[in-house]
Amino acid sequence: MQYENVQIAIEHGIATLVISREKALNALNRQTLSELEHFFGEYGPEIEHLKGVIITGAGEKAFVAGADITEFSGLSATEGQALAQRGQDIFFLIERFHRPVIAAVNGFALGGGCELAMACHLRIAGEKARFGQPEVNLGLIPGYGGTQRLIQYIGKTKAMELLLTADLIGAEEALRLGLVNYVVTAGEEITKAKELLEKIATKAPFAVSKIMETVNAYFEDGEDGFEREVSAFGECCGTEDFIEGATAFVEKRKANFTGK
């Protein structure tokens, strides 16, 4: 696939995806969504020795300032449902990706941008970052999972307030509420994200993927997270990395995980 709006750089096993529509504040249009879909559905899973993925936005103003509203005008109810479903499907690809995905939020993360950040496994916010779901100002609601994931991260009471008022919150409040993992000096978002991915990369890759899978299972309809945990624990016990990890612990040395 020819990537037009997502710039991809892979260095030392870390893929950095830059949403590059700076003049449009990196708004998510259909082409950008297609490129994210291709990366997380086809390209990304085939990258060998991948430690993780970082998503950020071009420029200093915005991570992603929302969906591209110019593509929304004239949508019928049926077309709107199809658009929301596609957005959710793509963001599920990110949430269920086999390697950690970190949002490096370097500015506005609004609407679809906030939803994109929430679909990632971890979030690093620059001190100038701002978050919000302002769709109600347009006579809409979030359609890419915002009404569901915001509750998961900050609880129903505050999520309901932010969704109904369309108020924005800054990086420090996002940290206090549990929406982001760290707040860093502006411009240091990717550096912190890489630091985290390098740390996670020292752990057993299969176990890391199973942790993300079982945590996600808690929120999935029809899934028993405890049951999934039992199954995943057993799968981990059958790996060479478990043998190596247990042996290294007994021998008081650093484990050398191979992902097998």
Nearest Cα residue to 138 out of 65, 64, 73, 62:
73
The token pair that represents 169 in the structure block: 């919150």
Of the candidates 115, 172, 235, 244, the residue annotated as catalytic is 115
Q: Are 124 and 193 in contact (CB under 8 A)?
A: yes
Structure tokens at 56: 């950020």
Please pick, among 35, 37, 95, 135, the residue that the annotation labels catalytic: 135
The total of other beta-carbon atoms located within 10 Å of residue 172's CB is 13
**Strands across the sheet containing 108-110:** 62-64, 108-110, 130-132, 169-170
Based on the residue annotation, tell me whether 127 is a catalytic residue of this protein.
no
Residue 198: active-site member:
no
Q: What is the CA radius of gyration of the chain?
A: 19
Three-state SS sequence of 202-221: CCCHHHHHHHHHHHHHCCCC
Cα–chain-centroid distance for residue 11? 19
**Catalytic positions, please?**
115, 135
